């Protein structure tokens, strides 16, 4: 029962008792009181004024008095300024929140809803290593899954690995032509990078062949099709589809290398999946729907035998769903896979974490599912996110500006090590402990940096900024957690400190000080944040919250001492405040996939 809800209910009740008004929470607004005014929560009265034919001031006065009278346990006082009724909460409910939750690791989380949700994210191609864009996708998908769990849903994390197709054949062919049997082991390279090199090699050769053909007077468009290396690749794809043993063996071998590499990266960044779909196993799905769609006249066949759907009435275009030769296109298998997901897992909702460049594609998919009359069509949700750009513009593999995920992590760890050494606070750590700390900080910085912005928006990756450990960053929040742990260690080492005593419920007689109040009120909102972040599927709401919480705690920390509190009662209170702050910070960071160090 959040304060927000309690106040809402109290206001509705008062409006009924005072004026016989049957109001709902949509008829008025409750805001947090702005810092320049005194109060904790504010009722905005303007919307009510019309119905009640009263001046805002008079209404505020009457409502305030009535609220205070009927909820003396909740409110301490009120003031009215223009159309705003500012309410000050009493200490007792604040202390109650603190007392009953400062050790509650489930604080803010929702009870089970029995809603089953699948989150598909990551979904890499097996022809090159992961880059910065994949990181945003992975962090986002993982975090949204955790946030949905915190909202009480059952969540299944999945990846769809794009392991077949012409682009995969490109690296295979290049390896065959130029590798002389080299392997990741012989080259001493991570498997995904190794294969990626041959993908690059393919493109280099391809461009050269095009240039050569153009020199003979061939038009560029024709040259692109006629380049021998491209023809060989296409042949390889045909061989693959026919199940040619050698091609399949090569394919398996090279994909295996890539998976080894991916696994290392996933493990490092903490991505995990309950199930992985492989396109090589799903790409034939969906063809049945084409037959069905033709029978129902939802789809139509062109003269060349290709099958289309007309979505012009929906404001979209005509879209091919099956090639003239009867082979699937991307959307064909998507239709099949969508059904597979719902039927095999009995889902209530299916979320796709995919970049916004595919907004149109996903819209088309949903529309086709709807037209086919599939009952789950409306429960397909595209969680689209914006591209990550560099300060210099877009990442372009051709210009070598793609930020590689593994490199980036390595760089961040190096930076974390530098900062840590300079500060010299953990000189007694073992090398293992140090490495663990660097990893926690590096990933904390990266994840926070990529998750703190609204997923829907494009974002700029600024290397210097991302590596910053001050201000609105992961390490800042982690630091705040470590600070609390440090306080507790200090207290426990004191002979006067008694753990038994510390756990006894306390009755507080001294009034809460402003920062103590603010902290409790802010901590109490955590549940609302989880709910909001879940509804919007937006981890940045959590990042924002947890940062402000850390900020607030640090102000409190600078202003008030825990160890040398004025009285024993204040010390007990501040210990609980500190514990609860660190607990919520840890919990919130966990939802972002970020760990906390005990010392840093």
Residues 252-291 within binding reach of RNA (CB under 7 A)? 279
Instruction: Answer yes or no whether residue 5 interacts with RNA by CB under 7 A.
Output: no
End-to-end CA distance of the chain: 36
Point out which span in 216-224, 335-343, 492-500, 546-554 binds RNA (CB under 7 A): 546-554
- Tell me the closest approach of the beta carbon of residue 220 to RNA, in angstroms: 15
Residues 181-220 that bind RNA (CB under 7 A): none
- Tell me the closest approach of the beta carbon of residue 106 to RNA, in angstroms: 25
Point out which span in 60-68, 204-212, 293-301, 313-321 binds RNA (CB under 7 A): 313-321
Instruction: Answer yes or no whether residue 172 interacts with RNA by CB under 7 A.
Output: no
> Using N-to-C axis directions, what is the helix angle for 91-101 and 514-524, rounded to 10°?
60
Residues 56-95 that bind RNA (CB under 7 A): 81-84, 86
The whole-angstrom separation of Cα 43 and Cα 59 is 11
Instruction: Answer yes or no whether residue 487 interacts with RNA by CB under 7 A.
Output: yes
Q: Which residue has the tokens 């940062």?
A: 547
Q: Confirm if 409 and 134 have CB atoms less than 8 A apart.
A: no
Instruction: Answer yes or no whether residue 485 interacts with RNA by CB under 7 A.
Output: yes
DSSP readout, 387-400? PEEETTBS--GGGT
Specify the residue, 350 or 540, whose C-beta has the smaller distance to RNA: 540
CA 43 to chain centre: 33
- Tell me the closest approach of the beta carbon of residue 296 to RNA, in angstroms: 22
Residues 433-462 that bind RNA (CB under 7 A): 437, 441, 452-454, 456-460, 462
Write out the two tokens for 123: 């979904």
Helix H or strand E encompassing 501: helix 499-503
Give CA angle at 49 (44, 50), nearest 5°: 130
Distances (CA, A) of 153 to 145, 146, 198, 241, 339: 9, 9, 43, 40, 21
Q: Confirm if 299 and 308 have CB atoms less than 8 A apart.
A: yes
- Tell me which of 272, 288, 317, 343 binds RNA, using CB under 7 A: 317
Point out which span in 208-216, 302-310, 373-381, 580-588 binds RNA (CB under 7 A): 302-310
- Tell me the closest approach of the beta carbon of residue 114 to RNA, in angstroms: 28
User: Where are the strands (E) in 39-196, listed by range?
Assistant: 41-44, 75-81, 84-89, 116-120, 154-161
Write out the two tokens for 136: 């945003």
Instruction: Answer yes or no whether residue 231 interacts with RNA by CB under 7 A.
Output: no
CA 339 to chain centre: 25
- Tell me the closest approach of the beta carbon of residue 394 to RNA, in angstroms: 6
Instruction: Answer yes or no whether residue 468 interacts with RNA by CB under 7 A.
Output: yes
Nearest to 389 by CA among 398, 406, 407, 401: 401
DSSP readout, 463-493? HHHHT--SSSSHHHHHHHHHHHHHHHHHHHH
- Tell me the closest approach of the beta carbon of residue 445 to RNA, in angstroms: 8
Specify the residue, 100 or 567, whose C-beta has the smaller distance to RNA: 567
x/- contact string, 360-389, with RNA (CB under 7 A)? Answer: xx------------------------xx--
Number of residues that bind RNA (CB under 7 A): 95
Residue 84 falls in which region: left (phi positive, over 0), alpha (psi -120 to 50) or beta: beta
User: Where are the strands (E) in 154-238, listed by range?
Assistant: 154-161
- Tell me which of 215, 221, 304, 500 binds RNA, using CB under 7 A: 304
- Tell me which of 239, 340, 348, 356 binds RNA, using CB under 7 A: 356
Specify the residue, 82 or 267, whose C-beta has the smaller distance to RNA: 82
Specify the residue, 14 or 233, whose C-beta has the smaller distance to RNA: 233
- Tell me which of 5, 34, 51, 566 binds RNA, using CB under 7 A: 34
The number of beta carbons lying within 10 Å of the beta carbon of residue 379 is: 18
Q: What are the backbone angles phi and psi of residue 353, rounded to the nearest 5°?
A: -90, 100
Instruction: Answer yes or no whether residue 10 interacts with RNA by CB under 7 A.
Output: no
The whole-angstrom separation of Cα 410 and Cα 450 is 17
Residues 118-157 that bind RNA (CB under 7 A): 125
Helix H or strand E encompassing 419: helix 405-423
Point out which span in 59-67, 238-246, 336-344, 555-563 binds RNA (CB under 7 A): 555-563
Specify the residue, 36 or 500, whose C-beta has the smaller distance to RNA: 36
Specify the residue, 155 or 335, whose C-beta has the smaller distance to RNA: 335
Instruction: Answer yes or no whether residue 411 interacts with RNA by CB under 7 A.
Output: no
């Amino acid at each position: 029962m959040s304060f927000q809800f309690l106040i809402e209910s109290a206001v509705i009740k008062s409006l009924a008792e005072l004026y016989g008004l049957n109001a709902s929470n949509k008829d008025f607004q409750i805001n947090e009181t702005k810092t320049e005014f005194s109060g904790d929560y504010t009722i905005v009265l303007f919307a009510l004024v019309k119905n009640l034919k009263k001046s805002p001031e008079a209404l505020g006065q009457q409502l305030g008095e009535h609220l205070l009278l009927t909820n003396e346990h909740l409110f301490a006082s009120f003031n009215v300024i223009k159309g705003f009724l500012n309410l000050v909460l009493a200490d007792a409910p604040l202390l109650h929140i603190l007392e009953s939750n400062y050790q509650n690791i489930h604080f803010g989380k929702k009870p089970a809803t029995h809603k089953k949700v699948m989150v598909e994210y990551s979904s890499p191609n097996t022809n090159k290593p992961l880059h910065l864009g994949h990181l945003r996708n992975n962090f986002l998908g993982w975090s949204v899954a955790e946030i949905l769990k915190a909202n009480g849903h059952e969540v299944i994390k999945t990846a769809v690995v794009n392991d077949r197709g012409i682009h995969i054949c490109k690296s295979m062919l290049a390896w065959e032509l130029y590798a002389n049997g080299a392997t990741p082991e012989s080259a001493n390279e991570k498997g995904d990078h190794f294969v990626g090199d041959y993908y690059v090699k393919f493109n280099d050769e391809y461009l050269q062949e095009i240039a050569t053909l153009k020199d003979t007077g061939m038009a560029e468009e024709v040259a692109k099709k006629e380049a021998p290396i491209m023809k060989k690749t296409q042949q390889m794809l045909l061989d693959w589809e026919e199940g040619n043993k050698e091609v399949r063996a090569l394919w398996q071998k090279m994909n295996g290398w890539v998976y080894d590499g991916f696994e290392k990266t996933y493990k490092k960044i903490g991505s995990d999946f309950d199930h992985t779909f492989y396109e090589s196993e799903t790409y034939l799905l969906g063809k049945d729907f084409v037959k069905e769609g033709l029978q129902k006249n939802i789809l139509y066949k062109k003269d060349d035998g290709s099958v289309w759907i007309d979505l012009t009435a929906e404001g979209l275009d005509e879209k091919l769903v099956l090639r003239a030769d009867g082979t699937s296109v991307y959307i064909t298998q998507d239709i099949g896979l969508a059904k597979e997901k719902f039927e095999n897992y009995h889902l209530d909702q299916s979320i796709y974490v995919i970049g916004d460049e595919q907004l149109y594609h996903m819209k088309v998919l949903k529309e086709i599912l709807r037209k086919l009359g599939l009952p789950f069509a409306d429960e397909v949700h595209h969680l689209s996110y914006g591209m990550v750009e560099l300060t210099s513009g877009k990442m372009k593999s051709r210009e070598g500006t793609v930020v590689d995920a593994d490199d980036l992590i390595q760089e961040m760890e190096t930076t974390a090590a530098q900062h840590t050494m300079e500060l010299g606070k953990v000189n007694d750590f073992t090398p293992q402990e140090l490495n663990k700390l660097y990893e926690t900080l590096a990933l904390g910085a990266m994840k926070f940096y990529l998750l703190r912005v609204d997923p829907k928006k494009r974002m700029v990756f600024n290397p210097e900024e991302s590596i910053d450990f001050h201000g609105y960053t992961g390490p800042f929040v982690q630091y705040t957690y470590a600070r609390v742990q440090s306080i507790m260690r200090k207290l426990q080492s004191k002979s006067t400190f008694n753990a038994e005593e510390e756990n006894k419920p306390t009755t507080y007689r001294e009034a809460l000080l402003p920062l103590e109040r603010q902290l409790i009120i802010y901590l109490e909102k955590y549940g609302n944040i989880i709910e909001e972040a879940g509804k919007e599927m937006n981890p940045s709401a959590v990042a924002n919250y947890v940062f402000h919480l850390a900020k607030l705690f640090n102000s409190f920390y600078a202003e008030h001492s825990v160890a040398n509190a004025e009285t024993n009662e204040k010390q007990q209170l501040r210990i609980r405040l500190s514990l609860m702050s660190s607990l919520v910070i840890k919990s919130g960071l966990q939802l972002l996939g970020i760990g906390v160090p005990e010392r840093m």
